[in-house]
Amino acid sequence: MLAALMVLTGAVGVSSAGKAEELVDVALVLAVDVSRSMSPDEITLQRKGYAAAIADPAVVKAVKQGVHGRIALTMFEWANDGHAREIVPWTVIERLEHAQGFSDTVLADTTFGQRRTSISGAIRHASRLLLDVPYAADRFVIDISGDGPNNQGQTVTRARDIAVEAGFVINGLPLMTTSGFGTQFNIPDLDEYYRRCVIGGPGSFMIPVNDWDQFPEAVRRKLVLEIGGRMPMKPPRVLPAQITFEEPYDCLIGEKIWRKLRQQFFLDP
């Protein structure tokens, strides 16, 4: 399965994780959606929300409570299947000044929206980063935020399943907001889509965001859970992944919406 993942992600050779010496509790990839369905104001709010959450004392406290007392963190922005732009490279977070430095780098960058939405492409890129993480991690987690379903590239369930089989956990932060551009590409039950089609792995979960005012707190809670490798007994608005479902769910809904709109408005492939 590791070989299959390396083919999927385009990785070659042997993961540098096997040569790492510094121990971390978790290697965590933050994959942030910047597709054009989000307005510039929303993208700015998203960036500020991540920056505030990463430097939050509760997040740093969670880091210190780990076995090794440190985590490895990286962040990139994604949109279409070919767009994955690094915001912050792999960084060890051990103390507040490390978290603040990461946060400052996030705030100093500038984002430009990109067309299309490829969650599968984001999973593939995040998987490649985890294959090459230069630290020895006890856990490997992909954290994906987005405001719409996959509509380009490999099917999201195939990318998810390969990543999970390789030992990676995928958590989600579906943005249920409706004020951005391109809302015709979105779906009203994006939280259910993320639960059934995107997240996966032991203890995986997602936290829906219905309003941008909720975003910083949702990211903070999500990071605390991911860093600690645990979930609360009765998590409000934290929905775990399910293995079986009574009713089938169409995980190709995003691709179907795109094809329908393309036929109506002669959109680019």
User: pLDDT tens digits for 195-245?
Assistant: 999 999 999 999 999 988 889 999 999 999 999 876 544 444 555 565 555
User: pLDDT tens digits for 159-180?
Assistant: 999 999 999 999 999 998 866 5
CATH number, domain of 15, equals 3.40.50.410
C-alpha span between 230 and 222 (Å, rounded): 10
Tokens of 138: 């006890």
Compare 266 and 230 and report the one with higher pLDDT: 230
What's the pLDDT band for 12 if we cut at 50, 70, 90?
very low
C-alpha span between 133 and 125 (Å, rounded): 12
Tokens of 78: 């994604």
What is the Cα gyration radius of the chain? Answer: 17
Q: How many domains does the chain have?
A: 1
pLDDT for the residue 243? 54
| Range of the structural domain that residue 234 is part of | 2-265
What's the pLDDT band for 115 if we cut at 50, 70, 90?
confident
pLDDT for the residue 257? 87
C-alpha span between 125 and 127 (Å, rounded): 5
Task: Decide if pLDDT at 2 tops 60.
Answer: no
Cα 255 from chain centroid (whole Å):
20
C-alpha span between 73 and 90 (Å, rounded): 5
C-alpha span between 92 and 103 (Å, rounded): 13
pLDDT for the residue 265? 60
